[in-house]
Structure 1
């Protein structure tokens, strides 16, 4: 049974029989973001040099066949890029939202903690010593790098009562060391290897295919379960580790689990498309501007916004870049940073008007 009501702060909510309640504003924002993602995906099917799009997609689903070029462009290039781009953006933004709550720092993301850099460093070392490494080995290397950084971070931070600031500072220190090591690798490697690594570090959906999507899809499903299971803990971590413990949150168990989830999500994203710098910061803040939320709602809206930002960035890459390959990381910065600045500015004006 679902009935309406108001929360303590006066916001309208829907209460379910099990005690779960959802703010109507968050539900509306989620519905709008889902609609926006579907609209962008539909638009993206028609972007490119080959004249094909959503109409042809419906024709093929109805059983009609397309000419070779149109079929290849639609099913081999565009649809895999759309699906993988959304899932990767979802994963990075979700990891960023989790880490921001754990660290109580609005700038926390997998890059700031060193998770992305750990994955990238391990992949770079693997490709240097074993250039023909299979994709499965690259995935394991990325996961091993991220988990190593997470384990080192937990060991250095130590106590359950350690503050979010100490976690961030340790993460920055680890990330700085790994970034310096990665720069040395690129600087002193042979020219061809260095150029290839630099292109990969810029981020790209060029290698998107159905095999990668099939490998990423279970992780996407697990991320939905993670939102449901870990969401309530995020609300307590927003109050600080000591307050979370006072409210009964088992910090010693939940914090490693949250970090593990963030590592797995960011490592998979790095393996699939390379690093997406700043996305883990951008998406939660823009989603929070659209509809302030906590716990599960915040995670879900942040993840949706991350997928949407990558879809917009990829559409910009293919729509404006033409035959010139624009790195996904660059187009994501061109799209996300102006939106981020506008959201922060409007948020500041909103606070001024409320006083």
Structure 2
């Protein structure tokens, strides 16, 4: 490993394998991970029961702890923090991937109809089999998301089709599925409709270690996916024609990336419900803090997504206490002002450089 300078004058670390990392991106990644740990420690101490990081450390060292505090930490708060971080990483990573293949900064799993496909299948399952086990719910969500992805690939067809065509087709499918979902909620039994409406707003209330154990392999897969798809996505950022000129097999790699994004978004939807706007918000905020491309962009976007969900959950439990504020709403309260501020600062930065 040696320190060099890229063509734009920015310092990079170059490895013998040819891999290079911008020093700025490396420091941003360290900063994001530190922020996630600090937010997790803060969130662990929020709630009605007076328990915090010291009680958590006592649990690790084997020191006897109060049963109520141990329950609050290990059964309620830590699963929420871990599940929220993993779900936020998954949605943000899926959004960053979709933005590259669509070449549109507003693309995310919701706009492509992937999240809506999963939600519609789950609703149909609740209508046909209200007592369906969790495994069947996960399979239904996966089938819905993959079904929308396959439909998009079939409708768009040609490998020379633009990212805009994929995005517009996704919006059309999402609109149809949203109408179907609204009809299902309208004519379902009242209790089922209320439960689905709460779930569709996003919730970490049912997070537990069992769900985390199911979700963890996908997080490992996402890390592998960052390394496998990062180079291809940097070519897609230049456009389909340029990607093909650089030797990227668009006809094969684009469906693989799309399916990978489906797996990430579907798992998050199944675990915590839809996290609206996070797939757009996290990559933009990460890019504002530290502009990046390829694998670094995916990694920083995923970390930012996890940070935002932890912060939203901490806001929910710190400000409103026992009031069950949906995580999707608190995420919007935190994220949208940051998004507006970042866009405004970017505009001012561009004005100063011209």
Taking structure 2 as the reference length, the TM-score comes to 0.99
Cα deviation, residue 65, structure 1: 2.2
Match of 1:70 in 2: 69
Q: Distance in 2 between matches of 1:342 and 1:90?
A: 22
Q: Distance in 1 between matches of 2:249 and 2:118?
A: 28
Q: Distance in 2 between matches of 1:179 and 1:308?
A: 29
Q: Deviations over 1:83-117 (max 9, x none)?
A: 00000000000000000000000000000000000
Match of 1:34 in 2: 33
Q: Distance in 2 between matches of 1:295 and 1:3?
A: 20
Q: Deviations over 1:263-288 (max 9, x none)?
A: 00000000000000000000000000
Cα deviation, residue 188, structure 1: 1.4
Match of 1:118 in 2: 117
Match of 2:98 in 1: 99
| Alignment map for 1:299-310 (pairs within 5 Å) | 299-310=298-309
Cα deviation, residue 242, structure 1: 1.1
Q: Is residue 2:278 matched to residue 1:276?
A: no
Match of 1:201 in 2: 200
- Indicate the RMSD between aligned Cα atoms, in angstroms: 0.6
Q: Deviations over 1:16-44 (max 9, x none)?
A: 11111110000010000000000001111
Cα deviation, residue 191, structure 1: 1.2
Q: Distance in 1 between matches of 2:233 and 2:51?
A: 44
Query: Once structures 1 and 2 are overlaid, which stretch shifts more, 154-163 or 56-65?
Result: 56-65
SS of 1:105 mapped into structure 2 = coil
Q: Any runs of at least 4 consecutive aligned residues in structure 1 with deviations exceeding 2 A, and if so which?
A: none
Match of 1:246 in 2: 245
Match of 1:47 in 2: 46
| Alignment map for 1:227-242 (pairs within 5 Å) | 227-242=226-241
| Alignment map for 1:10-21 (pairs within 5 Å) | 10-21=9-20
Taking structure 1 as the reference length, the TM-score comes to 0.99
Cα deviation, residue 142, structure 1: 0.3
Match of 1:133 in 2: 132
SS of 1:22 mapped into structure 2 = strand
Match of 1:146 in 2: 145
Q: Distance in 2 between matches of 1:102 and 1:9?
A: 25
Q: Distance in 1 between matches of 2:17 and 2:326?
A: 47
Query: Once structures 1 and 2 are overlaid, which stretch shifts more, 274-283 or 182-191?
Result: 182-191
Count of residue correspondences: 354
Match of 2:170 in 1: 171
SS of 1:79 mapped into structure 2 = helix
Q: Distance in 2 between matches of 1:232 and 1:199?
A: 39
Q: Distance in 1 between matches of 2:233 and 2:277?
A: 21
Q: Distance in 2 between matches of 1:177 and 1:341?
A: 30
